[in-house]
Structure 1
């Protein structure tokens, strides 16, 4: 009897299927330190307990994308071990900051299935929840992946594509309990720019770049216990190259965005995202942002700002798609998210 797990293939998923993902993870300050070592992350709210307390939180939480990667990593053996590509995200919300000492676990529900016209693979839509040791919902999101089919002779399931919001509204966002930016220290945060200084349609070149090292991205992927073969096994791809985990590019771009968006402190919503082109070791990642929307919140001194974050491997900033509507070859990531910023 086989005891190893080859991963699920497209025909193994059923609409409404609930998957409890293995290996809960207790986080510590070590995760935060390693995250900040892997990326040039330096947003003040995640770097200083005292800064976080001055903003109404009990201490500095784990970076929001670190929490996302941790929950995402739990899902890989069950959702995307045999994936061809991770296609997109929608309706992502952070509900509770993750603090050192919290234990996170993950569960996914299959909400959509659609076989490709070739019959060799299919798109699987899942809604994933990350919960802590108190059963508080920490974050949830929808993602869809293209998964190989093991037996191409099996009939296709009836196609079901979920109706997803094109973007979260400001009213959908969860503001952390106690968050208060009314006495926000701009000098300690690193930039003077507040919510009112940004205009919808404004674009920001984040200037800096980071060259990805092979060992670095593999360390990050192991940190989140992501077991996808394309990130580790050089024999898995015909070109013999290990694919950079998309979350690694996300965190690099978010960290680079500090230069120009140092006060976009907390990520609270994920509207959409596309890993537009593959990324490999040796690539120098740069980033730019566009302000898509703004809204006030009920929390004292707290505004919400919707941003497009684009990571590139070159090219001029603010170039996204060609005349054919497709992403340009140098675009690595196109991420649409909501963040909280002092008014």
Structure 2
């Protein structure tokens, strides 16, 4: 009897099934530093204890996307080890900040299963919750993933999930406890622009590009303990259908978010993930560019929130704002369409601008 775990196939999932994922992960300052090395992120709140303390926090928290990728990585051996593709995200909320020394665990609930017409694969929808060492929820999100069947003749009960909300309602956004921008230092943050300076419909070219190398994306994916074969095994029986390693979509998200610093340096705190799609594959040697669109603005009191569409393109500068064709299909260079909420200081909630 084999002792290795082949992972779940499509027919192994049942609606209502709860899966507690293995390998809790304690995040440290070393993880935060390595994450910066792999993404180039420059958001001051996650880079300097002194800056975070001036904003009312005990120290620099862990970048929310590193939290997301770590929780996501816990789920891969059980949810998507045998996946064809990760199709999208929705209803994501960051519920509490994570600090160096905190330990993350993850639990998922299967919301729906729907076999594809080819009879070889199906779509599984799950809600994953991440918790710290005290059992406090720090993250929740829904994702749907296309998974191979082990046995094409297996019968699977049809159970489609409810359609996810198109965006997280602002009333459900959770600001980090203690956050206070009254002493916010715009010079150290890298930009003078506040909530009031952004307009709905505005598009921002983030100008810079970053080439993703083979070693970098594999180190990043290992950092998250994501074991999906398509990111590592180019030659095995479960290799990518492209015949080479596929870069984990979370790497594209984090690099695109890091690039968005140039134009959105003060939109520091990711509060929610409204939706996200990995549109086209990304491979080692491709260069990522990014642009953002302000979809909506919300006054949260002392803090503002921007709803942002972050679009990442490969090997295509973002100044053209490539997105979709006239018939609604994504343009070929687009690799990521990511919709999220971010908190940003308001002019009347901070000290006078220099």
Shift in Å, 1:234:
1.0
Find the aligned partners of 2:101 and 2:200 in 1 and give their Cα distance.
39
Following superposition, the deviation at residue 164 of structure 1 comes to 1.2
Cα contact 1:87–1:146 (8 A) shared by 2: yes
Given candidates 258, 276, 293, the residue that maps to 2:279 is 276
1:310 alignment partner in structure 2: 311
Q: Is the 8 A contact 1:218 1:232 kept in 2?
A: yes
Would the alpha carbon gap of residues 238 and 69 (structure 1) be closer, same or farther in structure 2, given more than 3 Å must change?
closer
**Quick one: distance in 2 between partners of 1:223 and 1:313?**
23
- The residue number in structure 1 matching 2:223 is 223
Q: 1:157-198 CA distances to partner (integer Å, 9 max, x unpaired)?
A: 123222311111211101111111122110110010111000
Match of 1:154 in 2: 154
Deviations 1:228-263 (A, max 9, x none): 000000111354310000000000000000000000
Q: Check whether the contact 2:286–2:315 (CA below 8 A) recurs between aligned residues.
A: no
Determine the C-alpha separation between the residues in 2 that align with 1:317 and 1:288: 9
Q: Cα 1:307–1:230, aligned 2, differ >3 Å: closer, same or farther? A: same
Q: CA deviation at 1:4?
A: 0.4
Tell whether 2:296 aligns with 1:293: yes
Q: Deviations over 1:180-235 (max 9, x none)?
A: 11221101100101110000000000000000100000000000000000000011
2:55–2:181 contact (8 Å) kept in structure 1: yes
Cα distance change on mapping 1:287 and 1:229 into 2, 3 Å = same
Determine whether 1:204 maps to 2:207. no
1:237 is paired with a residue whose SS is: coil
Distance in 2 (CA, whole Å) between partners of 1:30 and 1:169 is 34
> In the alignment, which residue of structure 1 is the partner of 2:251?
248
Whole-Å separation in 1 of the counterparts to 2:158 and 2:242: 35
Query: Is the CA contact 1:288–1:317 (under 8 Å) kept in the aligned structure 2?
Result: no
1:40 maps to: 40
Q: Following TM superposition, by how much is the alpha carbon of 1:154 offset from its aligned partner in structure 2, in angstroms?
A: 1.6
Q: For residues 52-95 of structure 1, what are the alpha-carbon distances to aligned partners after superposition, in whole Å with 9 as ceiling and x for unaligned?
A: 01111111001010000000000000000000000010000001
Aligned equivalents of 2:217, 2:241: Cα separation in 1: 20
TM-score (norm 1): 0.98
Give 1:181's aligned residue. 181
Equivalent pairs counted in the alignment come to 341
Distance in 2 between residues matched to 1:118 and 1:108, nearest whole Å: 27
Unmatched 5+ residue regions in structure 1? none
Secondary structure, aligned partner of 2:320: coil
Rounded to whole Å, the distance in 1 between the matches of 2:241 and 2:89 is 27
Greater Cα shift, 62-71 or 238-247: 238-247
Helix, strand or coil at the partner of 2:219:
helix
2-side partners of 1:156 and 1:118: how far apart? 13
Superposition TM-score, scaled by structure 2 size: 0.95
- Match of 1:207, SS state, is coil
* Shift, 1:152, TM fit: 1.1
The answer (yes or no) to whether the contact 2:94–2:271 under 8 Å persists in 1 is yes
Counterpart in 1 of 2:260? 257
Shift of 1:322: 1.3
CA root-mean-square deviation:
1.0
CA contact (8 A) 1:115 1:159 kept: no
Q: Which runs of 5+ in 2 are unaligned?
A: 347-354
Residue 155 of structure 1 and its aligned partner are, at CA, apart by 1.9
